[in-house]
Structure 1
Amino acid sequence: MIGRLKGVILEKQPKQILLETCGVGYEILIPMSCFYALPKEGEEVVIFTHFIARQDSQLLFGFVDKQEQVFFRELIKINGIGPQLALSILSKISMKQLFSIIVQQEISTLIKLPGVGKKIAKRLITEMKDKYQNLNNKNLFLPFPLETNKTHSTSKQKITALSDKTLSVSPEGEAISVLVALGYKLQEAIQMVNRVSSIEDSCESIIRNALRNQHFYVKT
């Protein structure tokens, strides 16, 4: 199993890169979310990979961070979601955004993704809830605990609580303030930051990733 490669990007194009490692060039399939995070051609990068061998093909899928690799592996365990469909889903929506949709049980949003019908959308919501604890144990970012039977009022309370937390003096709080200044509503800015922020992020990187993800976010 090839799980990680470090090398120089010889070529890159949407959904695929050619990575040279120790004189060997690896063709790696990547989601669009990773493509935009890659350095320039000729620069070194670490790619976390998942290798799939079949009778007629050998495919190597790559991700810029460990979390996305783990998430991809959990995603392809779901009946009806193969590696190509998983790659397509992650090209249209980030794992953080997907968890937000799962929390809200937004089947109508999921079926807008290429290749995702009603049956797969329902299965994805059900099975990813079951995988919640497993992903959490692997330190995957989750926007908030998964719960069922949510009401509009409880969702509003969560947003209020999140607002109090993130509007403190922190990179997240500063990023929210900048997004509001750019014209986004407070609730929307909080959600955008919540989808992309992590402990290591600076205010600048949070804003850049929030704006980039907002462009690809699938809305109902």
Structure 2
Amino acid sequence: MIGRLRGVLIHKQPPHLMLDVQGVGYELEAPLSTFYDLPAEGVEVTLHTHLHVREDAHVLYGFAGAQERALFRSLIRVNGVGAKMALAILSGMTTEAFSRCVMDNDITQLTRLPGIGRKTAERLVIEMRDRVAALGEGAFLPGVTGGGAPARPADPVSDAVAALISLGYKPQEASRLVSLVEEEARTSEELIRLALKSTLNK
């Protein structure tokens, strides 16, 4: 099991990134909350990882903090919640916000995340109650190391739209959400953050 990687960030385009670890390029998928804290390409970074084994592929997921990874591992054990939905949940809210939704039975807030209907939200509340209590109701704990200015993407709007689509939003809805906040941000990470925030504040 690969539990942690430290290497040079050589590519990032949500939800995909690549680390060069002593000459070996590791492809990972990560929640948007991790992307918000990534340094510029070319800078060293440390990520907590989870290797998800499927019949057709082995997918490596990266997380900025150990608590975020622990929540991901708990989520994929819930019936009907796969890795893609777990990433969408972690991308749409912090571990603290998710814990609060579960403990407060806040079904409405959970259904605002892409791909989560009422039945799935109810299942999450029931099955995750004991697990989030065990994880602790701490805020997201950053684990990303490295510094430098964020890399400037060639087209932050297109990157933001593509990232939202990868989370389960329909292309038209993703474009609409990004267009609403386009004038408020310059990077794809900022656009994604504001777009997701707007869906949860409805």
Partner of 1:12: 12
Whether 1:21 and 2:21 are equivalent positions in the alignment is yes
Q: Which has the higher contact order (CA 8 A, sep 6+)?
A: 2
Secondary structure, counterpart of 1:131 in structure 2: helix
**Shift in Å at residue 133 of structure 1?**
3.6
Partner-residue secondary structure (3-state), 2:25: strand
Aligned equivalent of 2:201: 219
Distance in structure 2 (CA, Å) of the matches to 1:214 and 1:25: 27
5+ unaligned residues in a row in structure 2: which ranges? Answer: 143-189
1:214 Cα deviation from its structure 2 partner: 7.8
Identity over aligned pairs, percent = 40
Scaled by the length of structure 2, what TM-score is found?
Answer: 0.69
Q: Could you report, residue by residue, the CA deviation over 1:136-186 in whole angstroms, capped at 9, with x for unpaired residues?
A: 3xxx61xxxxxxxxxxxxxxxxxxxxxxxxxxxxxxxxxxxxxxxxxxxxx
Larger gyration radius, structure 1 or structure 2? 1
Residue number in structure 2 paired with 1:70: 70
Q: 1:174 corresponds to which residue?
A: none
User: Which consecutive residues of structure 1, in runs of 5 or more, have no partner in the other structure?
Assistant: 142-194, 199-211
Q: C-alpha root-mean-square deviation of aligned residues, in Å? A: 2.2
Q: CA deviation at 1:111?
A: 1.1
- Using a 3 Å threshold, how does the CA distance of structure 1 residues 107 and 36 change in structure 2: closer, same or farther? same
- Is the alpha carbon distance of 1:197 and 1:38 closer, same or farther for their aligned partners in structure 2, counting shifts above 3 Å? closer
Q: 1:109 to 1:133 in 2, by over 3 A?
A: closer
In the comparison of the two structures, how many residue pairs are matched?
A: 151
Cα distance in 2 between the residues matched to 1:84 and 1:57: 14
Return the alpha-carbon distance in structure 1 between the equivalents of residues 37 and 53 of structure 2.
Answer: 27
**Secondary structure of the structure 2 residue equivalent to 1:26:** strand
Normalised to the residue count of structure 1, the TM-score between the two structures is: 0.63
Q: Closer, same or farther in 2 for the Cα pair 1:22/1:115, shift >3 Å?
A: same
Distance 1:21 1:214 in 2: 29
AA aligned to 1:101 is: C
Q: Do residues 126 (structure 1) and 108 (structure 2) align?
A: no
Mapping for residues 1-220 of structure 1, pairs under 5 Å:
1-136=1-136, 141=138, 215=194, 216-217=196-197, 218-219=200-201
Runs of 4+ in 1 over 3 A off after TM superposition: 195-198, 212-217
